[in-house]
Amino acid sequence: MKVLVIGRAYPEVSTGMNGIFEYEQASGLRKLKLNVSYIWSDVRSIKYQKKIKKTEKVENGIRLVGYNLPIGGISAKILHRIQMFLLKKAFKDAMIAAGTPDVVHIHFPLLTVDTEFIKYVKSLGCKVVVTEHWTRILEKRITDAQAKLLKDIAEEVDSVICVSEDLKNAVADYIAEKNCNKLVVIPNMVNECFSYHVKPNNDDKFVFLYSGRLRKPKRCDLLIKAFEKAFPNKNEKVELIIAGDGLEREALEKLKEEYHDSRIVFKGFVKREKMSELYRKADVYVSASALETFGVPFAEAWMCGRPVICADNSPILPYLEEMKNGISFKTDDVESLKTALLTMYEKCSSFDGKAISDKASEIFSQQAVITKVKDVLK
């Protein structure tokens, strides 16, 4: 089976790793012995990428074809036309090298394609599957034009994969009822660098860890306030590590300064390999986020054998209840989160880290997720 995967970009550290979920799925499909091509048309502004370039190469058995043109900021209509022109060009280039695909798998369709492109692909006899990850759909923050595009895409394609049940329900609100039978839930997969390790014996600190973007919906301010309420006596054996960056970082660091608390440590952006080390040194992963489409860091923590604390409206709650691998708190409630932190501090040792990791692997490992994706493609 020939599969052509469309993503937002080729993931590079210098451009923010945009496209990492898509590219890793393509890599996973290649490991299942499928003929895989990966294409993109990246027209983000010069703020994110500096070079005009075409990429065409084979990497780890995957044919890569993509265009980078840093023109973001120009008229939206003109930008879209150029993006679609370059994407179709990449598609044709990939077909010259690998032949017409049997299935085209499109990630983040509202950001990467339009219905004209999908109709063009279908005219070649290809089946079309899309995977939606976008938080804005869950937040109901897409434009009227994007809502119409989502409805039209669901009409045209053969299957719509959503990364959580909550996102599936949100997508269903936008599309025709007759197309809801096309919706499938397959979680995001976790990179194999996240694996079980026993916490080092020489580390006597109890570490709460948060990883993710620092923006208001993530509610890191609530997390810091709850941490200070739970451990007000400056117990040096307790630490809160915050890994990630974003618009809220300056405000969060000011909040830390108000508490004069050196136990709160900001790590900034952390590369994936180093992130896995942080999970292994942590006792508990915690997020106060009020809104998630899936919550990849929770799955990463579980793969490393760490229990978690999440809000009671989190899309990962069904996994938490099924796997007995953490506790929840009342969303946006500082007292409830404080209680959860204290409970984990006292009872963390009752969780079986190896069992948590083994169960997570059955659900979120590359092999588990890609096998489900392959079944949809077949």
Same domain, 274 and 172: no
Please report whether residue 190 resides in a domain: no
Point out the domain boundary residue: 155, 185, 215: 185
Residue at 318: amino acid letter: P
Question: For 372, phi and psi rounded to 5 degrees?
Answer: -70, -40
- The answer to the question of residue 378 being in a domain is no
215 plus 158 within the same structural domain: no
What are 128-169's pLDDT values in tens digits?
A: 999 999 989 998 999 999 999 999 999 999 999 999 999 999
For the domain that residue 227 is a member of, what is the CATH number? 3.40.50.2000
Task: Please report the pLDDT score of residue 201 as a whole number.
Answer: 74
Boundary (domain end) residue, out of 153, 185, 217: 185
CA distance 306 to 23: 26
- Picking from 119, 95, 83, the residue whose alpha carbon sits closest to that of residue 3 is 95
Do both 88 and 168 map to the same domain? yes
Note whether residue 371 is domain-resident. no
The pLDDT of residue 204 is: 83
- SS3 per-residue string spanning the chain: CEEEEECCCCCCHHHCCCCHHHHHHHHHHHHCCCEEEEEEEECCCCCCCCCCEEEEEEECCEEEEEEECCCCCCCHHHHHHHHHHHHHHHHHHHHHHHCCCCEEEEECHHHHCCHHHHHHHHHCCCEEEEEECCHHHHCCCCCHHHHHHHHHHHHHCCEEEECCHHHHHHHHHHCCHHHHHHEEECCCCECCCCCCCCCCCCCCCEEEEEECCCCHHHCHHHHHHHHHHHCCCCCCCEEEEEECCCCCHHHHHHHHHHHCCCCEEEEECCCHHHHHHHHHHCCEEECCCCCCCCCHHHHHHHHCCCCEEEECCCCCHHHHHHHCCEEEECCCCHHHHHHHHHHHHHHHHHCCHHHHHHHHHHHHEHHHHHHHHHHHHC
Let me know if residue 294 belongs to a domain. yes
Residue 195 belongs to a domain = no
Judgement on whether residues 17 and 75 belong to the same structural domain of the protein: yes
Q: Does residue 336 share a domain with residue 248?
A: yes
Residue stretches of the chain with pLDDT short of 70: 202
pLDDT for res 318: 87
**pLDDT given for residue 294 in this prediction:** 87
Structural domain contains residue 196: no
pLDDT at 278: 95
Residue finishing a domain among 185, 220, 252? 185
Tell me: do 140 and 278 sit in the same domain.
no
Both 98 and 20 in a single domain?
yes
Does 211 lie in the same domain as 179? no
pLDDT of residue 14: 76
Instruction: Give the whole-angstrom CA distance, residue 232 versus residue 225.
Output: 10
73 in a domain, yes or no? yes
Each residue's pLDDT tens digit, 180-234: 999 999 999 998 899 999 988 767 899 999 999 899 999 999 999 999 999 998 7
Same domain, 160 and 211: no
Segments forming the whole domain that contains residue 53: 2-185
Does residue 108 sit in the same domain as residue 30? yes
Model pLDDT, residue 227: 97
- Whether residue 244 is found in the same domain as residue 340: yes
Q: Residue 202: what pLDDT?
A: 66
One domain for residues 164 and 217: no
Number of domains, the chain? 2
Tell me whether residue 192 is in a domain. Answer: no
Q: Which amino acid is at 166?
A: D
Q: State the CB neighbour count (10 A cutoff) for residue 209.
A: 26
Of 192, 161, 164, 178, the C-alpha closest to 310 is 164
